[in-house]
Structure 1
């Protein structure tokens, strides 16, 4: 039996989505676009679904077919092609929910990241013991080896913050998350001390929303926002009870940016945020 074809990466799926959007803006059907491009309708459909790879030259040719004059967008789309080596996260694809492997891929390629969390510490800032304590509370319960697999994946994701040219990372964290003692006092204290250490890195900004702060939007959901090379290629991930929902529609992304802007506005500045975290840690 032939080996099964690996599923398309989130990056390839996004490239296909953007090519479909360019086509639809010209009011061309897939069949009409195929005739203009010299391909079959199935070929166009498979490219747009991310099932077929496409070269940078073909992306530029498709953009010309669709009368796209946004050179920055065309260059960004062309840069998303030609990947030969699949990322480290692919080794986890069969064992973890697809949303987790997509998350690692999005983080890897992002030019900047913004996150907001109310109950849990953001994944890129979690310690091993804190992450393990979080996964032990999963419903239904995870087997011990599944817990360790997820912990390993989460810690590997954090490598992006230590790259030679790491992306800017801004995390808005509610005071409630800082006071939750997952794993007990010792684990919680080590986690807070780790956040303080990370906040001193040039590429990391930590802003805390205190209990006595004003109201803010979307208080019940965490948000991960990944900046692309151009705004049209931004992506957001909204936390859900099961897996998380990826967002790439322009109107939804605008809303996510507004929510994050408002949360950052009501949060403390980095220095008083660090002082608050230190005081919480000291009291443990």
Structure 2
């Protein structure tokens, strides 16, 4: 298969897992190359996500690396299988690749926990709110790109409504509920929407009040996506330069602990809904 010019985060993740599996087995890239009848450079590209790997080769590598975790291997095999063009691919080349990577991560997760400090969580935003956030960007975004972002954000939210929806927990700091993106009318609609979404059985919204005091981390938005197996958990972090992704065990532990802290200090779902509704009706 020809190399990819820009691999997606999911493709890079598959390669990283194959590299981790090889390292755990104490094997070299030369060993993997001989095993598959490839040169060493192709193995390096495969482990970087630049070159595709077939499901059959994933099984061959797993067997010869002595990986006996059948669920983990099958999850990697599923990642390697060719897929029809996913809906978010229609935005490739029109929006930053990182936005597509977030969408793909959410789509394949079994559960997502989100921590938001300054904005409403992406999967719970209204179109007016998305438009207001996009309009505040620097350097300014064109009207066309803002509308593309609105359309994609709305489509992203189908993971909450599809026949097998993800389980979604949003921890929202009080600050994010009081910053009026788009003005009072847009923000009031956003607050009412949060209340409506919190009524879904697969969605839990919890407010972290100002009274909780100091908080861990730098205050950037984060998402913890639970994979189909624990080895495929992923954290996504927002930054001014675009989304970042990490799956190092120490980092996963760190951000799980941060979300656990938010769980501890937040209002329960009922009190959170009442709190948001009070703000919306103020």
Q: What TM-score, normalized by structure 2, do the two folds share?
A: 0.95
Figure out how many residues of one structure are paired with residues of the other and give that number.
281
1-side partners of 2:114 and 2:265: how far apart? Answer: 15
Equivalent positions of 1:97-136 (< 5 A) are: 97-136=96-135
Query: How many Å apart are 1:219 and its aligned residue?
Result: 4.8
Query: How many Å apart are 1:34 and its aligned residue?
Result: 1.4
Per-residue CA shift, 1:50-95, capped at 9, x if unaligned? 2232222221110112111222211211121212312111121212
Equivalent positions of 1:263-282 (< 5 A) are: 263-282=262-281
For 2:89, the equivalent position in structure 1 comes to 90
Query: How many Å apart are 1:47 and its aligned residue?
Result: 1.7
Per-residue CA shift, 1:104-143, capped at 9, x if unaligned? 1101111111100011001110000010000000000111
Secondary structure at 2:204 match in 1: strand
Higher alpha-carbon deviation: 18-27 or 28-37? 28-37
Query: How many Å apart are 1:5 and its aligned residue?
Result: 5.3
For 1:64, the equivalent position in structure 2 comes to 63
Per-residue CA shift, 1:134-185, capped at 9, x if unaligned? 0000000111111111111111111111101101000000111111111111
Equivalent positions of 1:229-248 (< 5 A) are: 229-248=228-247
**Root mean square deviation of aligned Cα:** 1.7
For 1:206, the equivalent position in structure 2 comes to 205
Q: What TM-score, normalized by structure 1, do the two folds share?
A: 0.94
Secondary structure at 1:273 match in 2: helix
Per-residue CA shift, 1:174-226, capped at 9, x if unaligned? 11111111111111110000000000000000000011124321151111111
CA contact (8 A) 1:63 1:74 kept: yes
For 2:181, the equivalent position in structure 1 comes to 182
Gaps of 5+ in 1: none
2-side partners of 1:268 and 1:219: how far apart? Answer: 21
1-side partners of 2:213 and 2:139: how far apart? Answer: 35
CA contact (8 A) 1:118 1:219 kept: no
Equivalent positions of 1:208-227 (< 5 A) are: 208-227=207-226
Query: How many Å apart are 1:244 and its aligned residue?
Result: 1.8
